[in-house]
A and B are shown apart, each in its own frame.
Chain A
Amino acid sequence: MNIIDLKNFTLSIAQQEKTNLIVQGVSLSIQNGEILGVVGESGSGKTMLMRFLLGVMPQNMTASFDSFSFLGSLISLEESKNVRSDIAMVLQDPKTSLNPVLTVEDQIKEAFILKGDKDNLDEKVLKTLQEVSIQDPLRVAKSYPFELSGGMGQRVMIAMMLALKPKLLIADEPTSSLDAHVQRQILDLLRDTAKKNGMTLIIVSHDLPLISAYCHRVIVMYKGHIVDSCKAQDLSKSKHPYTKGLLRCLPKLNDPRKRLSILKREEIDL
């Protein structure tokens, strides 16, 4: 079964008598339990597409689509503007995404209460923190966000989202501010919890090798279009000029070069 079926989705913003298209005619189907990677440069529309799925689009933007179904039920254009409680999102920077004046404990409790769960919250908070491999849940529960490292903050964010028991978790650049070691730990954690809870996972990133290593399937976005889509392990063999161009730009450890290739945007047809 598909958790998401979206046909011909377009998102636009009116700026000074001009309409700019942020996402243009995108169709997207995501299978239940799949790990989908979304890659693209800044301004490719990937984050806006994710915000639409979640139902938190900026108000000055206008959406349109032929059909949109989530968890098997059709959603009208008007309904698409409401937040879907079965989807949760982990953002890039835990420092700015967590509430600075609440302890970790109180923030995770908020998530439980939002789900109508009000019993034994202390215990549940500690259990959720353990689930995201936090060694010292008691101390972390009483901490404020500024007292946590980047990796720890990201774990707290994930714990909070897991408390919502989402069917779909969207991770928007979840590790781009983290070190290599911590990055691996967080991605392993996301992958394992998705598998354990039967949760669908979308990882948004501009890091192609990372996406290729952790996802089942990848879509590549450029200027508001999905220009390429393939199995994650086949990403390096993609025939699309844009995907190929992005991969060639990357410096590689085992390939000494004098210069890096530059992406030739004029050669890319949409």
Chain B
Amino acid sequence: MIHAENLSVIFEKKGQKFQALSDVSFDVKKGESFGIIGESGSGKTTILNVLSGMVSQNSGAFKLNGTLQYVFQDPYSALHPYHTIGRILEEPLKIRKKIVDKSLIIQCLKNVGLGEEYYFRYPHELSGGQRQRVVIGRALVMQADVLLLDEPTSALDVSVQAEILNLLKDLQEKYKFTMILVTHDLPVVAFMCNDILVMRQGKVIERITSTNLRRGMIKNSYTKELVDLSF
């Protein structure tokens, strides 16, 4: 589904160069749940930004078969405060000049566990978890092949996080989309993803399966450190 080869990104600020990504390569198969883990500044979000076209790479290339949608970290700032939930969900369809059908939007609300009554509500009337459901719904309404998720639950309570992670798993089973999940939470990425890319200072440290991560079959000392640091 995605094939990335030697991606490098350099940001320049006040004449100072910052290497956000250096020679990052990876493959993601169709329908796979692929995790990227690392601390802040490790380049994990930059990978998503390159894939979605918000940042262009300085060297290297990637191939993407299909369409992308992005789910942002903070559901409080990802929804337009003056638009109703219905209008928010219709917007990507309008932008792509697709047919906007209300029944489609209501189906979309139901898919993410929200009722028809949410169509006319505004974001401020919703809890954090409900808003994140809307953000996920908006990504799904375009029937994208790949979902990019940037820390989708780090702003939520653990009980709400459990609901959202279960929802994502259910939806993936139903719609068979590919998922790339970026997080700094090791237990979350191990729960969601089969394959995990460990990043540090713009470089790939290790690619490891969640099974090996659980069994402690870890090659790199930095990955081991991350495991030891998680409570």
Interface residues of A (CB under 8 A from B): 41-42, 150, 179-181, 183-184, 206-210, 212-213, 245-246, 249-254, 256-263
Contacts and interface: CB of A to CB of B under 8 A. Distances in A.
Interface in B99-125: none
A245 B39 CA distance: 29
The majority secondary structure among interface residues of chain B is helix
Contacts of A260: 162, 165-166, 191
B231 interface: yes
Given A180-B184, A207-B231, A42 B191 contact: no
A253 B230 contact: yes
Contacts of B210: 256
Given A207-B231, A261-B162, 10 more contacts: A41-B158, A150-B40, A179-B40, A180-B229, A246-B159, A249-B161, A256-B191, A258-B169, A259-B169, A260-B165
B61 interface: no
A103 B174 CA distance: 54
B28 interface: no
Contacts of A251: 162, 165, 187-188, 190-191
Nearest to A248: B162
A227 to B, nearest CB: 14
Q: With a 10 A CB-CB cut-off, give which of A180, A252, A254, A257 has the most chain B CB atoms.
A: A180
Nearest to A260: B162
The majority secondary structure among interface residues of chain A is loop
Contacts of B188: 251
Contacts of A184: 229
B184 A249 contact: no
A20 B163 CA distance: 27
B221 to A, nearest CB: 14
A249 B231 contact: no
Contacts of B12: none
B208 interface: no
Contacts of B186: 253
Contacts of A209: 231
A180 B226 contact: yes
A236 B199 CA distance: 32
B213 A253 contact: yes
B231 A210 contact: yes
Nearest to B42: A179
Contacts of A150: 40
Contacts of B166: 259-260, 262
Interface string B211-231: 101100000000001110111
A252 B160 CA distance: 16
Contact of A254 (B39, B40, B214): B214
